[in-house]
Chain A
Amino acid sequence: MIPRNFIYFSPSSEKEALELLNEYKSDARILAGGMSLIPLMKMRLVSPSYLIDINKVESLSYIKEEKNRLRIGALTRYYEIEKSSTLKKLLPIMNEAATWVGDPQVRNMGTIGGSLSHADPSGDFGSVILALNGQIITSSLNGQRTIKADDFFVDSFTTALNANEMLKEIVIDLPEGMNGGAYVKLERKAGDFAIVAVAAQLSIDSKGNCNYAGIGLTSVGPTNLKAKKAESFLLGKQLNERTIDETAEIAASEARPIDDPLRGSAEYKRAMVKVLTKRALNLALKRARGV
């Protein structure tokens, strides 16, 4: 399997990369970890005339803690997320999700920016960023845009990015008070894409009421889905077996799975959304309570 030939650029600054992108627009593709783009090029499903390799743009790789928020550069790799002590302290759901992506070879190369830009509905990080109400910062020669994660995923493999724009960073408001998160994934074998996976992030107040609920669903729709009805149902309620059960039921009704010969029927996947949402919420709650 050999990709069609292309012209290769490896800019060393963001500005240079954006200039190239602005010049060649949809004839060009950005190369990050290559874990999705290279196979697509080999299968000739995508054949860009120009490849803009951003791996030398070191300024795009960081995990920065700021007052009340966290910024993650597009080129940050899965293994860096997996190992990050900043994330372990502030948003451990990110470390946990990273351990679920592919295998070491994939995590050593794949980037969070590539994962979100690729917008595979079976991608793990889309759901996590949806559950965290993250924001995507894009950049182009015209300046930056801030896009809510929920508006970023337009359709399968389709995002709100314009042809001259790249994903620059992800910004997440840090949870306050007692909080916890969990990423729970059902897979056929180690390193595979999810049959179904669920990201859940919770905060609870001193009375035990839920004051933040984020739920993201993987592999059960045309994009990663934000289970908005389930989230708003839980908000303000006590977290107990009954409310968690009902939330999971609502999340399952929001899923839009399809039958697929590899990973199961739509009916099975919907049932698994309920099971995994319950598991993720229970784990998140346990972690929020620190038990």
Chain B
Amino acid sequence: MSKKQIKLIVNGKEEIIEVNPYESLLKVLREYLGLTGAKRGCDYGGCGVCTVVVNGKAVYSCMYPAIKAEGKEITTVEGLYKNGKLHPVQKAFIDANTVQCGYSIPGAIMSAYALLLNNPNPSDEDIKEAFSGNLCRCSAGYYWPEAIKLAIKYMKQRES
């Protein structure tokens, strides 16, 4: 087979792995690197549970050939937890009661994280739009917009 060695920067750490061209970034994260935060749902861009951030942008890792991520910086939900502390977005998702079954949460948190990275003061419309690629079936997704507002508050508190 035509495996190729690639270098990824995952949550700040350099990883060198061998991949087949047809393998998705999602598979590599979950099965080669043991990062099971990103989930597999539909596997074709319809549900958002596999969302991770690549070079500052939210992407579907199920639709991203791992080989294409060579040299890129990838952040998964595991990378938000640092020095024993939850990221403000994570804390806000907990405090806003967004978690019931939890399956969609890592993806939704990464969409929220990417939104605030690119747009620190989003409008209500921006917030809704940011989650348009993330499905939630247990209804706790209703509180995601609230979590974003809370996260903004926490981030401001952290700065001051």
Q: A: which residues have CB within 8 A of B?
A: 1-8, 10, 31, 34-35, 38-39, 41-43, 51, 53, 55, 79, 99, 102-106, 108-109, 190-191
Option from B43, B70, B129 in Cβ contact (under 8 Å) with A42: B43
The number of residue pairs between A and B whose CB atoms lie closer than 8 Å in the complex comes to: 86
Q: B: which residues have CB within 8 A of A?
A: 1-2, 4, 20-23, 43-45, 48, 51, 57-60, 63-65, 67-68, 70, 111, 114-115, 128-130, 132-134
Closest Cβ of chain A: how far from B63's Cβ, in Å?
A: 5
Closest Cβ of chain A: how far from B60's Cβ, in Å?
A: 5
Q: A38-B65, A106-B133 are in contact. Are A79 and B57 (CB under 8 A)?
A: yes
Measured between beta carbons, the chain B residues less than 8 angstroms from A104 are 58, 111, 114-115, 129-130, 132-133
Cross-chain pairs A/B with CB under 8 angstroms, 11 sampled: A4-B22, A43-B44, A53-B68, A55-B68, A104-B58, A104-B115, A105-B48, A108-B59, A109-B59, A190-B128, A190-B132
Closest Cβ of chain A: how far from B150's Cβ, in Å?
A: 20
Q: B67 touching A8 by the CB < 8 A rule? A: yes
Option from A31, A41, A53, A105 in Cβ contact (under 8 Å) with B45: A105
User: What are the nearest 8 A-B pairs in CB distance?
Assistant: A103-B133, A8-B21, A190-B132, A108-B57, A103-B132, A39-B44, A105-B133, A3-B22
Measured between beta carbons, the chain B residues less than 8 angstroms from A38 are 44-45, 63-65
* Nearest B residue to A77, CB-CB: B57
Q: B129 touching A190 by the CB < 8 A rule? A: yes
Q: A5 touching B2 by the CB < 8 A rule? A: yes
Closest Cβ of chain A: how far from B56's Cβ, in Å?
A: 9
Measured between beta carbons, the chain A residues less than 8 angstroms from B128 are 190
Closest Cβ of chain A: how far from B24's Cβ, in Å?
A: 8
Q: B63 touching A8 by the CB < 8 A rule? A: no
Q: How far is the CA of A108 from the CA of B61 in the complex (A)?
A: 12
Measured between beta carbons, the chain B residues less than 8 angstroms from A34 are 63-65, 68
Closest Cβ of chain B: how far from A118's Cβ, in Å?
A: 14
Q: A5 touching B114 by the CB < 8 A rule? A: no
* Nearest B residue to A83, CB-CB: B118
Measured between beta carbons, the chain A residues less than 8 angstroms from B20 are 5
Measured between beta carbons, the chain A residues less than 8 angstroms from B114 are 104
Measured between beta carbons, the chain A residues less than 8 angstroms from B51 are 105
Q: A1-B43, A8-B65 are in contact. Are A191 and B2 (CB under 8 A)?
A: no
Q: Specify which of B2, B4, B133 lies most central, judged by the most chain A CB atoms within 10 Å of its CB.
A: B133
Q: How far is the CA of A10 from the CA of B6 in the complex (A)?
A: 13
Q: How far is the CA of A123 from the CA of B60 in the complex (A)?
A: 20
* Nearest B residue to A108, CB-CB: B57
Q: How far is the CA of A3 from the CA of B130 in the complex (A)?
A: 29
Q: A1 touching B2 by the CB < 8 A rule? A: no
20 new A-B contacts, CB < 8 A, other than A42-B43, A53-B68, are A3-B22, A5-B20, A5-B21, A6-B21, A6-B22, A8-B21, A8-B67, A31-B68, A34-B64, A38-B45, A38-B64, A51-B21, A79-B57, A103-B48, A103-B133, A104-B115, A104-B133, A105-B51, A105-B59, A106-B133
Measured between beta carbons, the chain B residues less than 8 angstroms from A41 are 22
Q: How far is the CA of A39 from the CA of B114 in the complex (A)?
A: 24
Q: B22 touching A1 by the CB < 8 A rule? A: no
Q: A34-B64, A104-B129, A108-B57 are in contact. Are A7 and B21 (CB under 8 A)?
A: yes
* Nearest A residue to B60, CB-CB: A105
Measured between beta carbons, the chain A residues less than 8 angstroms from B22 are 2-6, 41
Q: How far is the CA of A2 from the CA of B48 in the complex (A)?
A: 18
Measured between beta carbons, the chain B residues less than 8 angstroms from A53 are 65, 68
Q: How far is the CA of A42 from the CA of B22 in the complex (A)?
A: 9
* Nearest B residue to A50, CB-CB: B21
* Nearest A residue to B70, CB-CB: A10
Measured between beta carbons, the chain B residues less than 8 angstroms from A191 are 132-133
